[in-house]
Amino acid sequence: MSALVALIYPWVVFAHLASVFGFLLAHGVSVGVLFKVRSERTREGLRVLLDLSKRSLVWTYAFLILLGITGGVAAYLGDSWRQGWIWASAAVLILIALAMNWIGDPYFDRLRVAVGLEEPAGTRGVKAAQGLLPEIPAGEETLRQLRRSPRPWLLALVGMVGLAAILWLMVLKPDLARIGCSSVGISTEWACPDGW
């Protein structure tokens, strides 16, 4: 590591960790809303919470992008690109993001439609049989079912397990190339150069 890289590297790691904290703080708004929605009884309260959650996403995604950039730069400067834990942590982060979008986005979208914050997908400007679509399309029972959904718990589980996996990978930096070398019959010269 050159003197310049040695000088810059700790600051890049600092920026990476700061972006992780920023991401967790910004995304914490949506997590808090996710569980508060279950106990909120008024439509106006639900609208305020759901609007707050949507507004926090700008910062969530900004910090997520910064997290990826600073993590990539830190891996490059630290010459960690050939280590499996770097790629595994990036893969886990991508899988968490995909799972959160797959599980969470439809849930929040249905809630926003149910309280009248958004129009149902594909209905913008469409006339109903007797005029424009109602401002609040969902009845109380639909809203109650959405609030009682197990999705918040599933989202929390995915997030906690995923973050724990990334933390394990980043802190312990396991040598993933050596996992199972002696037990799977792979040529030790190819997969396990030290004869594991």
pLDDT of residue 180: 52
pTM score = 0.78
Least confident of 97-101, 116-120, 185-189: 185-189
Number of structural domains, the chain?
Answer: 1
Secondary element (H or E) of residue 132: strand 131-132
Whether 184 is covered by a domain: the verdict is no
Q: What is the pLDDT of residues 126-174, one digit of tens each?
A: 444 444 444 444 578 888 888 889 999 999 999 999 999 999 999 999 9
Whether 31 is covered by a domain: the verdict is yes
pLDDT of residue 130: 47
Q: What is the pLDDT of residues 94-105, one digit of tens each?
A: 999 999 999 999
Q: Specify the length of the chain in residues.
A: 196
Are the C-beta atoms of 23 and 60 separated by less than 8 Å?
yes
Q: What range defines the domain where residue 56 resides?
A: 3-120+136-177
Whether 35 is covered by a domain: the verdict is yes
What does each C-alpha distance from 100 to 54, 55, 96, 151 come to in angstroms? 14, 17, 6, 10
